[in-house]
Chains A and B, each alone.
Chain A
Amino acid sequence: MAYDKFTILKSTAVPLPTENVDTDQIIPARFLKATEREGFGDNLFRDWRYDVEGNPKKDFVLNNPTYSGKILVAGKNFGSGSSREHAVWALYDYGFRCVVSSFFADIFKNNCLNIGVLPVTISAAFAETLFAAIAANPNTELEVNLLQQTITLLATGASESFDINEYKKDNMQHGFDDIDYLINMSAEIEGFEASR
């Protein structure tokens, strides 16, 4: 199931500096009851975004029209907790194509890479630079360049490089997923299974 190709993304960003944002916050368990991958964006950050009556909470960043964009700049240890891929589906469905943080939880990061949302790990200092720049000017643009493996604050040229393994980088660029790869090596897997 190919996904969107990712090469260079230039966009404004939404800041969420809160630390330890777990996947129960990204999408609460009670919204995991679908049998298809549709409509999860509506419930992204549900309990931070809406009150119990369903009215938008004014102080939450997604309800602040000042901030928008395809990049979420998040606090440390983003995506901890439950392995629910629904968390990434919700971010994707809402419109995010890239999540930036100084620290990601493992399973969340894998899930991102598996559906074509690019997780970009930066230093804590650069995260502070980005939060400050976005706060000073919400229209500030970031460029995430997968080919060069760089993230740049366009207004100042401040930039940092990020890691991604060659295999995943190639997948993201071409929109390939792991199953395509695995199915192509069926014979090897069958041989391995038979030896178990």
Chain B
Amino acid sequence: MEKNTLFDKIWDAHVVKSVPAGPDVFFIDKHFIHEVTSPVAFLNLEKRGIGVKYPHRTIATPDHNVPTVDQDQTIKDKLSRMQVEKLRENCAKYGIELHDLGSAHHGIVHVIGPELGITQPGMTIVCGDSHTSTHGAFGAIAFGIGTSEVEMVLATQCIMQSKAKKMRISVEGTLGKGVTSKDIILYIISKISAAGATGYFVEYAGSAIQSLSMEARMTICNMSIEMGARGGLIAPDETTFAYLKGKQYAPKGADWEKSVAYWKTLKTDDGAIFDKELVFEAADIEPMITYGTNPGMGIKVSGTIPSTQGMEGSNKTSYLKSLDYMGFAPGEAVKGKLVDYVFVGSCTNGRIEDIRAVAEFVKGHQKAENITAWIVPGSREVEKMAHEEGLVKILEDAGFELRQPGCSACLAMNDDKIPAGKYAVSTSNRNFEGRQGPGARTMLASPLTVAAVAITGRITDPREVFGK
């Protein structure tokens, strides 16, 4: 019998047709849209005189540009307001389900999909956003697309893409204390580089991955794109089923039993061949932080910034340009450096577990004087739980400012910008130049490390604070 990977099984089941010497016509089960990458797609549909083929397969929410204060009021920024209004208009016109600002399930698109149980094993999921890979945590093929492809999905429910190569990354063993799934993914990217998985779809496996909660798995799959991968996925298991059971859009009753029986078949066959296999040991992973301007530029918090030894030409020039932007020098330690902002949020680490971890860490303590601390829940549901569990009180007592749900300072399309030259330690996914505001200097880390930085005001290993 043919041995297939999990990726093969889902991909092959969604190919409507393979174009000779060309891509596959690939069917999409669920399509998420937001206000920034959809308006031109809708506009082009109008120009072509066609509509949305299967509106029930698309779900919308405004998240990228929305303000994180006064969401009950009209959006002040004119262009952002126009994009959000356009999304409302398009959803109403074509009958697309919209989770609007202020509604019970508003939030970052990659947070609400799983939360509502829309994201399920075996599905194909796309969105005009590269962090769509998040949904791969459920054993789905999920990836980001461009606006032309958003238009294709709206018009036909298909896109045309060639099947990616397959890579398996296994992480074996037990994670140390204070080491989180964010550290796992930052560690992997630092080992293989920001382009190390380009052309591949990654399956994460191994005992350390299997031991993770759904939320922690989402953090890992979310950042697959940061090593260039088309997407990443994890085989569904009892943890996945337990998370989905009872969710609003999850199958119910007999359908549930039937679905679980199918989902249990969604795993890589023993002996299936990957184009590339990598294995890492969980015990080698420590709390991680980035020091440069792409997510591959990461080191352990206690480490030093690599020297330029062995670099030459544009490789060395690009490296030094990056360190210059960050205000760092080769060979320096990062621990102890002063920080100005901390940001907890985004589709990477804006879920309730992340907020719980930060709250537990800072409980009874005060943020450092030099720190401005923002905490932005990934969704209204997360915000609600944070209130109900008393986390908001703990965080506000510690000096954190709680804002309303949205992408916020992860990409600074709204007013949540880090000022030029300032250092922000963020739970988000990208440390690109200007990502969190023009001139802003971003260092990516786990929620625990960010909590430790908030308390000490400096780059800190979370294991060295309060004996935690």
Contact = CB atoms under 8 A, between A and B. Distances in A.
A111 interface: yes
B57 to A, nearest CB: 9
Given A29-B411, A165-B162, A193-B27, A22 B17 contact: no
Nearest to B315: A19
Contacts of B318: 18-20, 75
Nearest to B15: A192
A81 B432 contact: yes
Contact of A28 (B143, B161, B434): B434
Contact of B155 (A28, A84, A182): A182
A32 B407 CA distance: 14
A1 B130 contact: no
Nearest to B22: A167
Interface in B421-450: 430, 432-435, 438-439
Contact of B17 (A19, A30, A188): A188
Interface in B251-279: none
A81 B430 contact: yes
A177 interface: yes
B194 A80 contact: yes
A36 B40 contact: yes
B149 interface: yes
Interface string A70-106: 0000011100111111101000000000000001111
Nearest to B319: A19
Contacts of A193: 27, 54, 157
A49 interface: no
Given A35-B86, A114-B146, A177-B148, A76 B432 contact: no
B315 A166 contact: no
Interface size class on chain B is 35 or more
Nearest to A128: B313
Nearest to A103: B195
B438 A37 contact: no
Contacts of B160: 167, 178, 181-182
Contact of B317 (A18, A33, A111, A167): A18
A33 B413 CA distance: 9
A192 B151 CA distance: 19
A33 B65 contact: yes
Contact of A167 (B23, B129, B195, B420): B23
B36 A33 contact: yes
B152 A178 contact: yes
B83 A107 contact: no
Given A17-B314, A77-B195, A193-B27, A107 B144 contact: yes
Interface in A95-141: 103-107, 110-111, 114-115, 128, 131
A183 interface: yes
Contact of A30 (B129, B147, B226, B413): B413
Contact of B194 (A29, A36, A77, A128): A77
B128 interface: yes
A183 B156 contact: yes
Contacts, number: 202
A193 B28 CA distance: 9
B138 to A, nearest CB: 17
B148 A17 contact: no
Nearest to B65: A33
Contacts of B434: 24-25, 28, 47
Interface stretch (B42-50, B93-101, B341-349, B378-386): B42-50
Given A80-B194, A83-B130, A179-B155, A18 B148 contact: no
A155 interface: no
A107 B317 contact: no
Interface residues of A, number: 58
A24 B433 contact: yes
Contacts of A183: 50, 155-156
A115 B130 contact: no
A187 B162 CA distance: 22
A48 to B, nearest CB: 8
Interface string B234-259: 00000000000000000000000000
A32 B23 CA distance: 29
B194 A178 contact: no
Interface in A137-181: 165-168, 177-179, 181
B195 A20 contact: yes
B178 interface: no
A186 interface: yes
B433 A83 contact: no
B294 interface: yes
Contacts of A47: 433-434, 438
A114 B145 CA distance: 11
Interface string B390-411: 0000000000000000000001
A25 B434 CA distance: 8
A84 B19 contact: no
Contacts of B205: none
B198 A196 contact: no
A37 B40 contact: yes
A131 B50 CA distance: 45
26 contacts: A25-B432, A28-B434, A29-B411, A30-B412, A34-B40, A35-B43, A35-B82, A77-B195, A81-B225, A81-B226, A82-B411, A83-B37, A84-B37, A114-B146, A114-B148, A165-B21, A165-B23, A167-B19, A167-B20, A167-B160, A168-B22, A178-B159, A179-B152, A182-B156, A188-B16, A189-B158
Q: Which 4 pairs, one residue from A and one from B, show the smallest C-beta to C-beta distance?
A: A167-B22, A33-B79, A85-B146, A83-B144
Interface of B: 16-17, 19-23, 25, 27, 29, 36-37, 39-40, 43-44, 47-48, 50, 53-54, 64-65, 77, 79-80, 82-83, 86, 128-130, 143-149, 151-152, 155-162, 164, 194-195, 198-199, 225-226, 228, 230, 293-294, 296, 313-315, 317-318, 321, 411-413, 420, 430, 432-435, 438-439
Interface of A: 1, 17-20, 22, 24-25, 28-30, 32-37, 47, 52, 75-77, 80-86, 88, 103-107, 110-111, 114-115, 128, 131, 165-168, 177-179, 181-183, 185-186, 188-189, 192-193, 196
